[in-house]
Amino acid sequence: MHDMLRAIQAPVRALYEEAPLLPFCGPALTIATINVWFDKHYQRERYDALFALLEMHAPDIVAFQEVTLDFIEQLKTCSWTAGYRWIDDHGAQLGNYGVGILSKLPMQNTSYAGLSSRMGRTVLWAEFTHQDTPFTVATTHLESMSENADYRKRQLKSIGDLLAKHPGGFFCGDFNLCASWPDENQALRNYEDLWSTLKPNDNGFTVDYSVNKMKPSTKAPVRFDRILSHGQHLWRPQTITMIATEPLEGRPNLWPSDHFGLLATMRLAG
């Protein structure tokens, strides 16, 4: 059994100031995703470092997980976001954290929905059109902890039913399940994993405490963070790389997040 998702409108707004959307120089499309780590640990410094990376890469669409009001308020101070628009799932306003999407492209039918969860998890999505081609971008932060595999399966089932109503697009975020876990990855068999497609011989660990020592841990490295494509094969993946993979300058134990992010480039097929 799984729950039918109830879509709630996610208002589109400017963060820095009202300004025209930045030009989208197609046919390439760049999408980034990162779990920003909601913890207060040197939060301002970490977010500043992350925002500098995003300003440098200038992705067309960015999906964030573990978004808090503090994160949004600091993002509002970034002048480079003036040509972007923002949506979120209001999770931050409920005293917890949530997810958000920042976009240069006009967003339509922006919505979020609660998932079957003990942790307040949601899925957030927006519809886009480029060169008369519609597509959807969705992001989520699935239930954490290894014992919550059944929750993640139900959440992925509900999201899969939602995305099946759209012609194609991208599904990204922190899935809290590693690409090497065969049982749970059955729920993702109908998606194309861009990392697996473009870098099949690279483990691509996005949480690796042997490298990122900001949070001391003996846990094995995992690839929790993904950018997947779904539906009609409208886009061809071109490149994918990790971002936020270096500590802050002069501070070897301080990193932008406890996760590495992903940055992918796609082109329209045809």
Complete domains list, the chain, with CATH? 8-268 (3.60.10.10)
In angstroms, the Cα distances linking 256 to 11, 55, 184, 249 are 28, 14, 29, 11
Residues across the chain: 270
1 versus 60: the higher-pLDDT residue is 60
User: pLDDT digits over 136-185, tens only?
Assistant: 999 999 999 999 999 999 999 999 999 999 889 999 999 999 999 999 99
**96 confidence band (pLDDT: 50, 70, 90):** confident
pLDDT of residue 204: 97
pLDDT of residue 25: 60
**92 confidence band (pLDDT: 50, 70, 90):** low
Distance of CA 20 to the CA centre of its chain: 24
**1 confidence band (pLDDT: 50, 70, 90):** very low
pTM of the model: 0.96
Mean pLDDT of the residues in the chain = 92
User: Which residues, in sequence order, are CB contacts of 52 under 8 Å at separation 6+?
Assistant: none
User: pLDDT digits over 39-56, tens only?
Assistant: 999 999 999 999 999 999
User: pLDDT digits over 219-262, tens only?
Assistant: 999 999 999 999 767 889 999 999 999 999 999 999 999 999 99
**69 confidence band (pLDDT: 50, 70, 90):** very high
pLDDT of residue 269: 82
Residue 155, class by beta-carbon neighbours within 10 Å (0-12 exposed, 13-18 middle, 19+ buried)?
Answer: buried
| Contact (CB, 8 A) for 172 and 232 | no
pLDDT of residue 220: 96
